[in-house]
Amino acid sequence: VTIIMRGKPVVERLYLEMESLKQEHPALQERQAALATLAVGDLSAANSYRTSIECSCVRAGIAHLPIDLPQQTSGEVLGRTIASLNNNQEVSGILVFMPLPERISRRVVLGTLSPFKDVDGITPESQGRLRLDLAGLRPSCPLGGVEILDFYGIEPSAKDVVVVGRSPVVGGPLSTMLMHRDATVTLAHRRTSGLAELCRGASIVALAAGSPGLLTNDMVTPETVVLDFGANMVEGKIRGDAERGALEGYVAALSPVPGGTGPATAAVLVRNVLFAALASASGSLDVLPRAGTERRSSPVANSVTSSS
Ligand code: ADP
């Protein structure tokens, strides 16, 4: 039978941790942490994510400040908006929804956003800290995936892992996190040849390709653990990158879409807002955990038989 790695219990654990984090740190009690979410233009794709962020903020006792800039906003105005949020002491974290309109270079965001408020770990400072295994704010989506693996007792150490997709917010940082967790990581992408064979040889296949039904039965074995970050709209329904119908009942474990990595992402993002508030309060990013690297105990350890 396939273990369905649902996000829900992982999320519950994250909220419990956030509660203790608040109790441990007076700085988090003195001032309510706040997350600004910034969207440029119509972002129907981001709207459901924003709704779930909103719910997560409420639950964590964090203020949510949604900001919408018109589609024709210039890079300069976006840069100034981010700069003023950087300087706003009421704002602990800033999330800018991607993709931006094509006219605006990503560099506007990457170069302006304060690393202290970079709750999605996109800045060069955050990405460098992750690569160098230093404390810092990590991209929430891949970190949510690592939290799921830890929760279900799936140990990446010494395993062959294939990550499909190399984007800077999902596949790229996930491969780095799992590398730091002593996995042997292959980072596959659109130009990779022999993907099926690569995936078949892996213990863990992580999907971050944005391609519905990409992972089919012939690309996995009964030992495969599938971590699915896909969030594709197909006929009005959200679908992952795995062909779930075919894989469920066949592979060792899989994270469902919806209900898997998505909820974990939102909870990790909100925890990042608390982390960001802590970093700002202490004036240093070095007070943060080396999240994604430190192994976390599993309440359900041994429920997934590690393939020998
Ligand atoms: P996300 O934000 O979910 O990571 P992106 O669209 O930014 O998604 O990136 C998609 C990534 O997935 C790219 O690195 C691309 O090369 C990879 N990719 C997309 N389709 C395929 C495919 N069919 N096979 C392998 N890799 C793919």
Q: What is the DSSP string of 219-270?
A: G--TT-EEEE---EEETTEEE-SB-HHHHTTTSSEE--TTTSHHHHHHHHHH
Q: Residue written as tokens 């304060």?
A: 114
Best residue for ligand 1 mutational test, from 167, 175, 191 (most atoms within 8 Å of Cβ) = 167
Separation between Cα atoms, residue 263 and residue 41, nearest integer Å: 25
Nearest CA to ligand 1 atom 5: 167
Q: In terms of Cα–Cα distance, which of 24, 22, 7 is closest to 150?
A: 7
Q: Give residue 302's pLDDT.
A: 56
Separation between Cα atoms, residue 204 and residue 150, nearest integer Å: 13
Q: In terms of Cα–Cα distance, which of 263, 308, 221 is closest to 5?
A: 263
CA distances from 152 to 127, 254, 268 (A): 26, 10, 17
Any ligand 1 atom below 6 A from CB of 257: no
Any ligand 1 atom below 6 A from CB of 48: no
On the CB side of 233, CA atoms within 13 Å amount to: 7
Query: What is the CA(166)–ligand 1 centre distance, in A?
Result: 6
DSSP, collapsed to helix, strand or coil, labels residue 66 as strand
Best residue for ligand 1 mutational test, from 97, 162, 164, 228 (most atoms within 8 Å of Cβ) = 164
Q: Residue written as tokens 């062909």?
A: 243
Separation between Cα atoms, residue 211 and residue 231, nearest integer Å: 9
DSSP, collapsed to helix, strand or coil, labels residue 64 as strand
CA distances from 244 to 4, 147, 199, 220 (A): 11, 21, 16, 12
Q: In terms of Cα–Cα distance, which of 128, 138, 82 is closest to 108?
A: 82
Residues 302/153, Cβ–Cβ less than 8 Å: yes
Dihedral sign for Cα atoms in the order 102, 107, 110, 112: negative
pLDDT, tens digit only, all 308 positions of the chain? 999 999 999 999 999 999 999 999 999 999 999 999 999 998 777 788 899 999 999 999 999 999 999 999 999 999 999 999 999 999 999 999 998 999 999 999 999 999 999 999 999 999 999 999 999 999 999 999 999 999 999 999 999 999 999 999 999 999 999 999 999 999 999 999 999 999 999 999 999 999 999 999 999 999 999 999 999 999 989 999 999 999 999 999 999 999 999 999 999 999 999 999 999 999 999 999 999 998 888 988 655 544 43
Task: Fill in the DSSP letter of residue 40.
Answer: E
State the first-to-last Cα distance of the chain, in angstroms, to the nearest integer: 18
Q: Give residue 307's pLDDT.
A: 43
